[in-house]
Amino acid sequence: MTEAAGDPAPEPPAEQPALSEQFLLRLDMAAAMLPPANPDRALKKAVQAIHSYPTNGLQTVTTRKLLNALVVHAQDVFAKMSAEDRAAVKAVRGTPVFRIPTKRLLVLMGSESSNNYERIYSALDAVFSWDIRWNLMSDSPGGSEVIEEVTSRFISQYSKGMGDRVGMVSYEFPYDVLTLLMEPHPYAILSLRTVNQLGSSYAIALYESCARYLGTANRVTAVLPVEEWINIIAGVGKYSGKYKDFNKFALKPAMKWLETVDSCPFTVEPRIVYGPRKRVVGLQFKMHLKQQQSIGVEMPPTWDPRTIDVLKKVYLMAEKDIVLMSRMASEAEVQEAISRDGVMIARKNKAGETVSNRAAYLKGILRNLQLGKPKDLEPEDEAAELASKSVQDAMTRAAKMTERFAQFRKDRLREELLDLPTEALDDLRVEFRQAKGGEGLVGQWLRAGWTKPHPGLMAMFISWVMSNKADIVERMLVKPEEKDLAVWMMLNSGQE
């Protein structure tokens, strides 16, 4: 990674293995020892990566699948490295160069029969040029919320092989992105099979954004402003806050994909947060499990039969519930949850307490484990999500902050407009008269003149400029807090 100007990188000790030829050789050996690529496997993906999006480009089906394939490969190689090599990477903030055959990338992307390497290279070109906005999320009693925003590259370099290395791709993550992806927390368990079967970039984004919450008690996502959902699902600059268009052309088709792809175990229902005048200001999504015939009873083939036997006999779980659990968690996590459950049940028995539903109790322990909560913390009971005060409070806060942000932008636009040269401002007023002069009281207010304009006239004028003169608004509102709701919320988070 490039060091900041005036802050030269310290010279690393010569013997640091993360920078040595021997280290690179061991890394290549680890990659060579990987089993055949499995496009149906699970991916442990950091929530920050799921909520990230390029600020200077648009995701496609190919780029989304490619990014997941790169993460899967790097995680697999990282897991093969010795503990000493992993520690060396952290010690020097090293950025290992991962090498993968292009054919393996295509397999992980669900395109095993394809030899279209140029598609991969074009997608890599796009990804390399992007500035990625990472929304760092925090789970709180009021729901998940953005607590920090970071912008960086996703990959800091890549190359395609030449000569005897034709058909190879080398890539490297910036160090902070590397640690985020290799040791994700919090994270979601995604199915590569599902991602690869979704033929829509919007559908992949919606699936990944919702899958994290499938294992929670209420199966509802965080409430986010509409603008943020548009950025995550459709891309920056798409639909410009126009919920009606976003819903028609992006959201509904994406929901249809989740409904029709059998390997996706849920459908989603949007929950709308309304602001003033019934304007849609926020969204969350509720997941509904599909009927068993849609899920298909496919017991996890890599799990130890003894684990499945314990879930059936001790926890009385039906096969469909075990299948669903396998799509939300790894076997190691389930085994750790079973271990914790044994300790906690023994503690309850000693205190004279009982657990009526062992399966539900185990699922609660598994949720705590995936969220990184203390191992002896009692799991929370399931509750009606929208009826809960915390969710209602979160939705109210989201609507209030979105409304305040809109008013802040209007106030700033008014200040900038009044500083325009008289001739330019008069031209805008003439256009406004032509467009709105025949509506209700506007004509009467216009006849009274602009010397001391009626407050309603100024409000109408500012709203008209905001809606119809995007180029002017873009030129006048240039600060990050004037353009981006999330930035403004960060700066005003203590002023509710």
Residues 399 and 324 in one domain: no
496 occurs within a structural domain: no
Of 370, 399, 417, the position where a domain reaches its end is 370
454 occurs within a structural domain: yes
Residues 155 and 17 in one domain: yes
Measured CA to CA, the distance from residue 30 to residue 44 in angstroms comes to 20
Alpha-helix runs per DSSP H in 214-270: 226-233, 243-246, 252-260
Location of structure tokens 């779980």:
317
189 occurs within a structural domain: no
Measured CA to CA, the distance from residue 272 to residue 475 in angstroms comes to 31
190 occurs within a structural domain: no
Residues 137 and 26 in one domain: yes
Residues 8 and 114 in one domain: yes
Expressed as residue numbers, the domain containing 304 is 300-370
Residues 100 and 152 in one domain: yes
Q: So what's the pLDDT on residue 150?
A: 64
Q: So what's the pLDDT on residue 301?
A: 62
Closest CA to 383 of 215, 214, 216, 137: 216
Residues 129 and 57 in one domain: yes
Measured CA to CA, the distance from residue 348 to residue 345 in angstroms comes to 5
Residues 222 and 307 in one domain: no
Structural domains counted in the chain: 4
Q: So what's the pLDDT on residue 343?
A: 92
Q: So what's the pLDDT on residue 493?
A: 62
Of 130, 153, 182, the position where a domain reaches its end is 182
Number of neighbouring beta carbons within 10 Å of residue 309: 10
Closest CA to 267 of 285, 248, 244, 245: 285
Residues 287 and 346 in one domain: no
Residues 211 and 317 in one domain: no
Of 273, 296, 319, the position where a domain reaches its end is 296
8 Å CB contact between 172 and 158 = yes
Average pLDDT per 10 consecutive residues for the chain, totaling 496 residues: 40 43 83 86 86 89 94 91 85 87 91 80 92 64 48 83 74 88 82 90 94 81 89 88 88 94 90 86 90 50 81 89 77 89 90 87 86 82 47 67 84 88 87 82 83 84 87 86 78 62
For residues 321-332, one letter each, b for 16 or more C-beta atoms within 10 angstroms of the residue's C-beta and e for the rest, the string is bbbbbbbbbbbe
Residues 310 and 436 in one domain: no
Could you tell me the pTM of the whole model? Answer: 0.62
77 occurs within a structural domain: yes
What is the CATH number for 138?
Answer: 1.10.10.10
CA neighbours within 13 Å on the CB side: how many for 453? 16
Q: So what's the pLDDT on residue 394?
A: 65
Measured CA to CA, the distance from residue 336 to residue 341 in angstroms comes to 8
Residues 280 and 214 in one domain: yes
193 occurs within a structural domain: no
Residues 400 and 359 in one domain: no
34 occurs within a structural domain: yes
377 occurs within a structural domain: no
Q: So what's the pLDDT on residue 11?
A: 44
